[in-house]
Each structure stands twice: as C-alpha cells, then as structure tokens.
Amino acid sequence: MPHLSCGPGFRPISASSPHKVSVYRYKNESKIVTQHNVPTLNPGLTRRGLLRAGASGLAAIGTPLWAQGALSAPARGITIAQIADMSAAQIDVSKDFLIGARAAWADINAKGGVRGLPVQHLVLETDGSPASLAKAIDTIQGLPHCVAAFGTVGSQAATMASTQLQRSLPDLAHMAPWLHSTESSLPDNSFPIFASRTDQIQHALKSLSSMGVDQVGVVFGSPQDRQASLPEIERLTRNMALRPLVYPLHSEMQQLGASLHSDSPRVLLFIGATPELLALTQGIARQAQQRYIIALADVNVLTLQQSGLSRHSAVIATQVVPLVNAQAPVVRQYREAMARLYDEPPTPQSLSGFVAARFAFEALRQTEGTPTRTGVMAALQQRKSWDLGGFLIQTSAQRRSGSYVTQSMLASDGRFVG
C-alpha cells in the first residue's frame, strides 16, 4: 500500500465529515484527504457522471489549485512536481494520467526509489485558468528542493507551463509533459516524449487515405483547437489529396451532430476534448447515417464507452503509447501495478502517465550522486536514446519529442478493437 501524504492544510477525515473530500481508491482500501474551504470533485462524479453533468455543471464544481504531498523539504528523499489541469474539459484525461503516474511512483518507491532514496511525488492541481497555473509555477519556484517537473497534463496546461517554466525556472527540467505542440515551439528545458498533434493527425489521415477515403469532415471542439491545428490539417490533406470539409465552430455540438445529412462526409476528424466529442455523438444519434469519427489522444475513449456511445458512431482514436493489452515489458508492469493498487480499468491515458513517470525515473537514475536540478538537466541533454521497457524514445537536435502513434477503435456496439 503506497503512502498518500497530506500536505499543509490536510488531515484525514471520516466519510461522514461535512467537508468536501477527494477519494483515491486503492485496491481494497481508500485514502480520503481534504483541504478546508477548497471545493473538490465529488467522488461519485467519475467518467459517466462527469460528462453527463455537462460543461456548465462541471464549471460550477471546478477545482482550484491545491497541492497533494508535503511542501516542505523531505528529510531524506527526492521531490518531483507534476501539474494537472482538472478543468471540466480536461479532467477525464488528467485524472487517468495522474493515476498512472501515482502507480508508477508507488511501484518505484516500493522497489527502493532512486538509489535507496524515496521519490516524493508532489501534485499541483489547477482549474485550467492562467491564474491557477501561475500559482502552480510560483509554488514550484518556492521549492528549491524540487529537482524537476514532469508529466504536466492537459494539453493547454502543458503548453503554457512549458513557456512559463522556461521563463521562471530555466534550470528546472520539464520532463514528459502531455505536450502536443510542434518542434519549433519547444523551450530548451522541455523534454517531451509523446508524439505531437501533427504526428497524430498525419497518422490518422494516412490511414484514411490508404482506405480510399477522399473526403473528411473536420470538427473543432474550441477556437484554440482550430487555431492550433487548422493550418496543419490543410497542409496534410493537400499533400494526401484529401478534400477537407471544415465545419464552422459550434457552441452546441449536439446540434452540429444532428444537422449532418446523407451528403455530409461519413468520416469526421475531431480535434477537441471528450465532453465535446460525447455531445457530437449524441447529436449524431438523432440521424440515421453511420459516422466514423477520428479523434486524437486528448479523447478518453473509455469514458465515451461508459457514457454510452451512439449506435450510429464509431470512434477511432490515436494514442501515443502502445495498446494497454500489449506485451511490452513496460505495459505489463503498468497492468500489474494498476491491478495491485487501483480499482481502475487500464486506459491509454493512465498508461501515458505511467510511462511519463518511468521516463522521469530513468532521468533521475542517470544523475551522479543525489539528483539535483543541474544533474537531471545534464542527464537529459546528454542521453539521446531511451528504452522504457520496450517503449523506445529517440531524440536528436532535429527532433526532440517522441513519434510513436497507434490507433484503437470503439465500435458502435461498444466493443474495443485494437
């Protein structure tokens, strides 16, 4: 049973306490922590409940910044920080990513940590706003004993955090963020390991082109998604002789889905988050045509399955880690740790969090003596090839992020294929 530390302002409480609580469920056991006057998500609002609540309901229970783990310097050990965007749009991805990272550090510490030193995993949750992210960065800045940041999750949060950490803490390595930006925008202290959004889109479009698809509808979940991805989509579709039909931004995804007709493209490329995609499929359920929706790794397909997918929709999602049933050593290790520690099914997002933590662990192990900020940064800059139990990462001056992309499908009958 891994230790769940309670930082300043936290105390263990009973389930009957009137305070808001967050529950972390381990196998056959739970730990409940609280912080006074900070609203947290109701444990019952997981996956299906969160999405059925809708964006407006989720906004009312958004999670402001709070830290899990002691903020004081440990008497003996290593501190590493992780920022998690728990906003309505990102919580389904961030929650699973965070669970995978927790499982990895629990497993690592149970096996001796880094050369006998335990790793303190400090989590800073934000509500998706620039102000709460700035508070998280300020918190890390006030922790000289924190040797690195890793696994910032929430694609917008990861992008903003990379920029702010470069400006505020250029000596602090930012490892394995859930960052899908292009190579040209990478700060010097960011070390991503997951494929970019461009790599994912290219993989998805190549698959469509190879199947003889000549037209694809393009749906964006937000203005930010459109701004970040439309130029690349136009370039890639032009190179592959695909005809894109870009739908205007729509505040009501259900209405957009219901407005599709027999002449609309049967294949849609969706760029956005899980709540918007779920609403789109609910709208598609109102018309009789079968649609195939291509989504990226920012969509949690298990959440869609548990929320009830329309029989007129099949979702094919890219993922930037191997399939959760793969036989690679790191995936087997992940499944064993999750089965031992959490009552949660495996997902690509929690596997991604697990892999991010394992990458951070390998970087810590490469340092000489007790890990320091300088030592971690040097280890990352010097080593160009990483084998995380069968998940290979090759970096160079020309390419500093991973490139692995595969796909899995949630069929219209609710079965996973992949």
CA dihedral 366, 367, 370, 374 (to 10 degrees): -140
Mean pLDDT of 79-99: 95
The rounded radius of gyration (Å) of the Cα atoms in the chain is 21
CA distance 382 to 222: 38
The string of pLDDT tens digits covering residues 286-308 is: 887 889 999 999 999 999 888 87
In the chain, pLDDT over 70 holds for what percent of residues? Answer: 79
Mean pLDDT of 102-123: 96
- Eight-class DSSP state of 184: G
- Eight-class DSSP state of 349: H
Mean pLDDT of 102-131: 96
Greatest mean pLDDT among 37-46, 47-56, 64-73, 141-150: 141-150
Split at pLDDT 50, 70, 90, the class of 400 is low
For the chain, give the mean pLDDT.
82
User: DSSP characters for 197-231?
Assistant: HHHHHHHHHHHHHHTT--EEEEEESSHHHHHHHHH
Q: Which residues are 82's β-sheet partners?
A: 123
| Mean pLDDT lowest among 142-156, 199-213, 387-401 | 387-401
What is the pTM (predicted TM-score) of this model? 0.84
Label the pairing between strands 406-410 and 385-387: unpaired
Whether the per-residue pLDDT at 215 is higher than 90: the answer is: yes
Helices (H), 286-328: 301-307
Mean pLDDT of 183-199: 85
Q: Which residues are 130's β-sheet partners?
A: none
Which residues touch 1 (CB under 8 Å, ≥6 apart)?
A: 26, 29
Whether the per-residue pLDDT at 149 is higher than 50: the answer is: yes
CA distance 95 to 143: 24
| Mean pLDDT lowest among 56-70, 120-134, 266-280, 311-325 | 56-70
CA distance 107 to 77: 16
Greatest CA separation for the chain: 66
CA distance 330 to 352: 11
The string of pLDDT tens digits covering residues 222-240 is: 998 999 899 999 999 999 9
Whether the per-residue pLDDT at 45 is higher than 60: the answer is: no
CA distance 289 to 260: 8
Whether the per-residue pLDDT at 56 is higher than 70: the answer is: no
The string of pLDDT tens digits covering residues 246-270 is: 999 988 999 999 999 989 999 999 9
Phi then psi for residue 179, to 5 deg, are -110, 120
Burial of 326 (0-12, 13-18, 19+ CB in 10 A): middle
Q: Which domains does the chain have, with CATH numbers?
A: 76-194+328-394 (3.40.50.2300), 197-319 (3.40.50.2300)
CA dihedral 296, 300, 303, 308 (to 10 degrees): 10
Tokens of 193: 């390991």
Give the residue, 22 or 389, on which the prediction is more confident: 389
